[in-house]
Amino acid sequence: MHWTAPDAQTLAASDVAEARAHALLMRLLSPAQREEFERRNCLTVTVPGRGRFAILPRRTLNVLNLDSGECYCCITASEVPLSDLMLAQKLLLEHDPEQFFAVANCPSEFLFGTATSGTPARRPRRAGGVLSRMRW
């Protein structure tokens, strides 16, 4: 099995999907988040008791704790437009942060075995970090 480049039709469909996902993301951002996204191409979410998190426009390790510097990876099981991934992360952080942190990977835990001091204790997680484990 070998990798082949996507054809023009696949690329066009991907561009259309991303445009629709971006429009949805813009509609669901608060005015302050929308302004920040337009200026910096990222958005900030405040999670009570955990701090402020920047969601960056990339697929992995894109959720950054602005207070501790830790980064988190919480991705979908299948390929989705980047704006949809960012929106899913935003909504989880705002409405169900415990679920986000239960499934997200944090590289410092892999390197050092525990969360850094000063951060709330985390519940044990299942291996992975995939939004598909969520009960929607």
Residue 113 — φ and ψ, nearest 5°? 90, -20
**pLDDT at residue number 9:** 83
* pLDDT (mean) for 26-39: 97
* pLDDT (mean) for 7-34: 93
For residue 103, the tally of other CB atoms under 10 A from its CB is 21
Taking the C-alpha atoms of residue 123 and residue 94, their distance in angstroms, rounded to an integer, is: 18
Taking the C-alpha atoms of residue 136 and residue 43, their distance in angstroms, rounded to an integer, is: 24
**pLDDT at residue number 47:** 96
CA end-to-end distance (rounded Å), the chain: 34
* pLDDT (mean) for 39-48: 96
| 41 against 4, higher pLDDT | 41
For the segment 83-118, what is each residue's pLDDT rounded down to a tens digit?
999 999 999 999 999 999 999 999 876 555 554 444
Cα distances (Å, whole numbers) of residue 100 to 21, 28, 40, 106: 21, 19, 24, 11
Q: Apex CA 48: angle with CA 46 and CA 53, to 5°?
A: 30
Taking the C-alpha atoms of residue 74 and residue 129, their distance in angstroms, rounded to an integer, is: 5
Give me the residue spans of the domains in the chain.
8-133
Taking the C-alpha atoms of residue 35 and residue 49, their distance in angstroms, rounded to an integer, is: 25
